[in-house]
Amino acid sequence: MNRRSFLRTIPALTAPLAILPEAVAHKGSSPVQGILKEGPQSERARRIEKATIAALAMQRRDWEQGILAQAMVETGDRRRAILLTKAAIVQKTPDGRLGVVNSGGPTDPAMGGCAYAKAGEWTGDAEIRQAVDGLVNWIRKGAPRNAEGILYHVFNAPEMWSDGINGAPPFLAAMGFHDEALAQIEGYRKRLWNPAKKLLAHIWDDGGQVLKDGAFWGGGNGWAAAGLARVWRSLPAERQRERERLADFGREIVDGCLRHQRPDGLFHDVVDQPATFVETNLAQMLSFTVYEGVAAGWLPITYRAHADRMRTAARLMMDGDGFVQGACGAPNFDRPGVSTEAQAFCIMMEASAGRLPTAG
Give 193's strand partners.
200
Flag whether pLDDT at 314 surpasses 60.
yes
Q: Which residues contact 184 (CB under 8 A, 6 or more apart)?
A: 150, 151, 164, 165, 168, 169, 172
The pLDDT of residue 358: 73
Summarize pLDDT for 19-28 with one digit per residue, the tens: 443 333 323 3
CB 272 within 8 A of CB 260: yes
The pLDDT of residue 25: 32
pLDDT band at 360 (very low <50, low <70, confident <90, very high): low
pTM: predicted TM-score of the whole model, two decimal places? 0.90
Over residues 228-239, the mean pLDDT reads: 98
Query: How many CB atoms sit inside 10 A of residue 28's CB?
Result: 6
- The mean pLDDT of the chain is 91
* Structural domains of the chain, ranges and CATH numbers in brackets: 33-354 (1.50.10.10)
CB 306 within 8 A of CB 256: no
